[in-house]
Chains A and B, each alone.
Chain A
């Protein structure tokens, strides 16, 4: 049954439950990728807004009700994505949808109580995917704090490889160096897969010359990127302590990760009750009950000495102000969490340093899954990241069978333009490919491209 649906080239039938921020973002991206989308929400105003803006069908009702799901066409749907505010409702939606054969389900589950049981829930309730944006955001923040020079760190191949984004400062030895020269002089174990200069994103070739002020993304193994950053004169030590403002769910997840890595954590939270809960959950962290947007309190708690400062309140404006304040008074590594997406152009122009958008992270995971479903056969998307404010994509494919791209030296493949094969991961080894390398089955291949809509490894060919 599933195979019959896959043959339809025009995309999947997807039902999204919950027209909140994530729902909105998913609608935007998935409708752009050509899928047929129905969105269900209880609030008619939200449905009205979303159907005015995007070519999707709106449906007002409770997404967890059998009747609503049926009327919204779940019988023909390939996928249901539940992203309402309530974890329980999301799980219920997916459980109800499970009786319809051929409809996979994705639920957003955020509460820490459940997140430890993700594996169990997924198996028992028959879900395709459980996403936890707060946890993913915390992981991404933690990766940046392990390597504070970086603006962004994305991990691939189950953590074996990572992509590090950083800015080339004035007077760095990379200034004026060509990509080929870099390979010869410094190290061959890394690959530059994207450069942003003056708002333009390039996928550089060997004779591309780097300049100060460029934002570059580098792919390598963990060790490789540390070595490279050291060699070009960056500090690669992880931070020793971190100060978090706001004690929400993502703060909890982040603190847990950091404490695990031996970084001491201080959380400032307004709500007394929440503080008490946090201190039970995180006995090793210092929990301060106070207003994190008060500069005196921050000073008292030692913002000047903090090595990392992460404002993660629920209000974007407050986070941005705190970031700007921290930039003036301390040398700490700062990560700003932005919840709303509409003003990303404003935030991009503000030079805030590292910015994390939890909503993007959610949709990246889901889109990776959807694209993998759309793919005919022969390969599967493992992970997908949007780079440079969605102007480029990094996609990791698992090659499962022989095809036009396997067994042929890369230099003989007719690749599309604006595309780069960044690494091949084979039997625990990371290969930074040259023209002579070939792709084999069971390899994991990562590509970076400014094109969009890749579903299958074969899409890299012209």
Chain B
């Protein structure tokens, strides 16, 4: 295994995180908060350590699948640990486990919080908390690929491990250019949202934080009641942007390339939009009598569906009080999630689509036992390998879900809370139902449960395997042997 290269990538990640941590320092300056000093010191330390680690570029820059997965998983763990330091030192979240949970939840764009009172945080910390969403949404390694010229084509393995979706394609031949295009689209859309929110009369600080949360499909609010107290205009703007950030970014690239037709013929996008429309319709009908105006009901239905489907997790109303059918539709949407290649989480629409198509294929093979048929997606046959990988993904997903629910069940809370807590974390949504509903938080859980949920969040964000591979014994055998050999030579 190429350990020097993993070390190099991790150092780069620290350096980048350090640089981004300077942003909350600016916020601290604006609001005159002394916590900014702590952020500044942490940032300086991260940059310094990163610089030392980057000083020696490894001669062998080859990254195979294995190295790609491991460095991605380790990067995200490192990112979370380093990102939680300021929360602990400033004393705003004194428990390290809680601070780590909050940061993991931020970077994985889950938005599950342990804070009972969000409004008691300083502006600096609120900003940093929301900014982790933005950075985690598109992925920090993709950012690394965008800004740092890395030679060799094997870097696709880094991007593959971090980007959501069953198969990762490039937009243009060079990976660096692809990453830059993605970040440009991402940044531009974020800026547009900020402008729309400002136009609705929202303060600058709020619109920045909320836009970061929407763009990364995160869901950390800056008010205790999440979105309930904002105007209908704001709710619609945010809901529409949540919808947009859940769409495969390839579609935006096609639109930029003036291939608008191609963007709207993407099966995944069509399915995503159709799914949202039907979910909104069902929920609207079931809750229409609960609200005075039909428009309010529609706003809440649309806001909640886009929020859950895109895996953001903002709440405009306490959907825990809604009828069972509405809650059940939301749980389905939690499971399905957003499009592949978006910033959203979940099982991904394209995977579900392919799996549903295999059902049809299987059925027709019962009628015509010798039929030869391939599953098509966007008019192209899906390779058998991709289908196999999706099947394995499904069973892995279910296994992780089951084991996590089991561990949480030991604590003895009701099944609805336990199950939706895991589901909401694994799919990077945030709020679940009942005890972990939109008005509650995760603070009451034991440390063990929190660690399990942190693992679920990371696994969900990185599409399971990069995190699971860390537990594969063969990985360490090789590394330990190599270390021993080096020692015996030296």
Per-residue CB contact flags for chain A residues 55-78 toward chain B (1 = under 8 Å, else 0) read 111001000000000000000000
A390 at interface by CB-CB < 8 Å: no
B153, B157, B175, B380 — most chain A CB neighbours (10 Å)? B153
Any B CB within 8 A of the CB of A145: no
Q: Is A40 located at the chain interface by the 8 A CB criterion?
A: no
Cross-chain contact B153 with A44 (CB below 8 angstroms): no
State the Cβ distance, A27 to closest chain B Cβ, in Å: 9
- By a CB distance below 8 angstroms, the chain B residues around A55 are 152-153, 155-156, 173-176
Cβ A36 vs Cβ B172 within 8 A: yes
B254 to chain A, nearest CB (A): 11
In the docked arrangement, what's the CA distance between A440 and B173, Å? 40
Q: Is residue B154 contacting chain A, with contact meaning CB distance below 8 A?
A: yes
**Bound form: Cα–Cα A44–B174 in Å:** 19
* A57 touches which of B152, B173, B176, B383 (Cβ 8 Å): B173
Assess whether B170 is interfacial by the CB under 8 Å rule: yes
Q: Please, how many angstroms separate the alpha-carbon atoms of A55 and B152 in the complex?
A: 6
As a 0/1 sequence over residues 150 to 170 of chain B, the CB contacts with chain A under 8 angstroms (1 = contact) are 001111110000000000011
Q: Which of B65, B153, B172 is A54 in contact with, Cβ under 8 Å? A: B153
Chain B residue with Cβ nearest A57: B173
Instruction: Let me know if A57 and B170 touch, CB within 8 A.
Output: yes
Name the distance in Å between A452's Cβ and chain B's nearest Cβ. 14
- Check if B154 sits within 8 Å of A56, measured CB to CB: no
The answer for the CA separation of A55 and B178 in the assembled complex, in Å, is: 11
Instruction: Contact check, B154 vs A36: say whether CB atoms are below 8 A apart.
Output: no
Q: Nearest B residue to A71 by beta-carbon distance?
A: B262
Q: Does A38 contact B (CB under 8 A)?
A: yes
Name the CB-closest residue of A to B262: A71
Closest to B384 in A: A44
Q: Are B173 and A38 in contact (CB under 8 A)?
A: yes
> In whole angstroms, what is the CA distance A13 to B175 when docked?
14
Classify chain B's interface size. 10 to 19
- Mark B127-161 against chain A: 1 for CB-CB distance below 8 A, else 0: 00000000000000000000000001111110000
Would you list which residues of chain A between 21 and 44 have a CB under 8 Å from chain B?
A: 31, 36-38, 44
CB distance from B160 to the nearest CB of A (A): 9
Minimum CB distance partner of B154 in chain A: A53
Docked Cα-Cα span, A445 to B152, in Å, equals 33
Say which residue of B156, B172, B380 sits within 8 Å of A52 (CB atoms). B156
- Asked whether, in the complex, the Cβ of B156 is within 8 Å of the Cβ of A36, the reply is no
CB neighbors of B among A211-248 (8 A) = none
A51–B172 touching, CB < 8 Å: no
* Known contacts A52-B154, A55-B156, A44 near B172 by CB under 8 Å: no
> Looking at the complex, which one of A31, A36, A44, A53 makes contact with B383 (CB distance below 8 Å)?
A44
User: A6-18: contact bitstring with B at CB < 8 Å (1 yes, 0 no)?
Assistant: 0000000100000
Q: Which chain A residue lies CB-closest to B150?
A: A55
Cβ contact of B153, chosen from A13, A56, A60, cutoff 8 A: A56
Q: Looking at B152, B173, B175, which has the most chain A CB atoms within 10 Å of its CB? A: B173
Tell whether, in the assembled complex, residue A51 and residue B383 are in contact, meaning their CB atoms are under 8 Å apart. no
Q: Mark A142-162, 1 if CB is under 8 A from B, else 0.
A: 000000000000000000000
Inter-chain contact A53/B172, CB cutoff 8 Å: no
A88 to chain B, nearest CB (A): 25
**Which residues of chain B are near A51, meaning CB under 8 Å?**
153, 156, 170
Q: Would you call A53 and B153 a contact (CB within 8 A)?
A: yes
Report B-chain residues with C-beta under 8 Å of the C-beta of A37: 173
Number of interface residues of A (CB under 8 A): 14
Bound Cα distance from A54 to B174, whole angstroms: 9
Residue of A nearest to B65 (CB): A52
Chain B residues whose C-beta falls within 8 Å of the C-beta of A56 in the assembled complex: 153, 173
Least distance between B422 CB and chain A CB atoms (Å): 34
What residues of chain A lie closer than 8 Å to B156, measured between beta carbons?
51-52, 55
Chain B nearest CB, measured from A315 CB (Å): 29
Structural contact, B153 and A36, CB atoms closer than 8 A: no
CB contacts (< 8 Å) of B157 on chain A: these are: 52
Within 8 A of A (CB), among B167-203: 169-170, 172-177
Complex CA distance for A412 and B416, rounded to whole angstroms: 84
Residues of A close to B380: CB separation below 8 A: 60
Q: How far is the CB of A39 from chain B (nearest CB, A)?
A: 9
Q: Which residue of B lies closest to A14 (CB)?
A: B173
Contacting residues, chain B, for A36 (C-beta < 8 A): 172-174, 177
Docked Cα-Cα span, A31 to B173, in Å, equals: 10
B381 to chain A, nearest CB (A): 9
Which residues on B sit within 8 Å (CB–CB) of A57? 169-170, 172-173
A36 to B380, CA, bound (A): 24
A54 to B150, CA, bound (A): 12
A228–B359 CA distance with the chains assembled, in angstroms: 77
- Chain A residues with Cβ under 8 A from B65's Cβ? 52
Q: Which residues of B contact A44 (CB under 8 A)?
A: 383
Q: Which chain B residues border A38 with CB–CB below 8 Å?
A: 173
User: Whole-angstrom distance from the CB of A422 to the nearest CB of chain B?
Assistant: 30
Most chain A beta-carbon contacts within 10 A, residue among B152, B155, B176: B152
CA distance A31 to B157 in the complex (A): 17
Task: Determine the residue in chain B with the shortest Cβ distance to A37.
Answer: B173
Complex-state Cα separation, A321 to B284, whole angstroms: 78
Complex Cα gap A36–B177 (Å): 10
| Nearest residue, chain A, Cβ from B160 | A52
Give the complex CA separation of A453 and B169 in angstroms. Answer: 29
CB distance from A41 to the nearest CB of B (A): 14
Provide the residues of chain A in CB contact with B175, threshold 8 Å. 55
CB proximity of A3 to chain B, nearest CB, Å: 22
CA gap between A56 and B152 in the complex, in Å: 10
| Complex CA distance for A36 and B175, rounded to whole angstroms | 10
> Across the two chains, which residue of chain A brings its CB closest to B157?
A52
Residues of chain A within 8 A of B154, CB atoms compared: 52-53
Measured in the bound complex, the distance between the Cα atoms of B176 and A56 in whole Å is: 11
B153 CB to closest chain A CB, in angstroms? 3
- Alpha-carbon separation in the docked complex, A266 to B170 (Å): 52
Residue of A nearest to B177 (CB): A36
Least Cβ–Cβ distance between A299 and chain B, in angstroms? 47
- Alpha-carbon distance A424/B380, docked complex (angstroms): 55
Contact with A along B94-109 (1 / 0, CB 8 A): 0000000000000000
Q: Contacts of B170 on A, CB cut-off 8 Å? A: 51, 57
Minimum C-beta distance from A297 to chain B (A): 45
Would you give the shortest CB distance from A26 to chain B, in whole angstroms? 13
Question: When chains A and B are docked, how far (Å) is the Cα of A60 from the Cα of B385?
Answer: 15
In angstroms, Cα B239 to Cα A226, docked, is 82
Nearest residue (CB) in B for A32 is B151
Closest chain-A Cβ to B291's Cβ sits at a distance in Å of: 48
Interface hub of A36, A37, A55 (most chain B Cβ within 10 A): A55
A56 to B383, CA, bound (A): 20
CB distance from A40 to the nearest CB of B (A): 12
Contact partner, A31, options B153, B155, B172, Cβ 8 Å = B153
What residue of chain B has the Cβ atom nearest to residue A28's Cβ? B153
Shortest CB-to-CB span from A361 to chain B, Å, is 24
> Measured between alpha carbons, how far is A37 from B175 in the docked complex, in Å?
11
Q: Nearest B residue to A15 by beta-carbon distance? A: B173
> Closest CB-CB distance, A156 to chain B, in whole Å?
32
Contacts of A60 in B (CB 8 A): 380
**How far, in Å, is A435 (CB) from chain B's closest CB?**
38
6 A–B pairs (Cβ distance < 8 Å), ordered by A? A37-B173, A55-B173, A55-B174, A56-B153, A56-B173, A57-B170
Residues of B within 8 A of A (CB): 65, 152-157, 169-170, 172-177, 380, 383
Question: What 12 additional pairs, Cβ within 8 angstroms, besides A51-B156, A55-B152, A55-B156?
Answer: A13-B173, A31-B153, A36-B177, A38-B173, A51-B170, A52-B154, A54-B152, A55-B155, A55-B174, A56-B173, A57-B173, A60-B380
Which 7 pairs show the lowest CB-CB distances between chains A and B? Answer: A54-B153, A55-B153, A57-B173, A36-B173, A57-B170, A56-B173, A37-B173
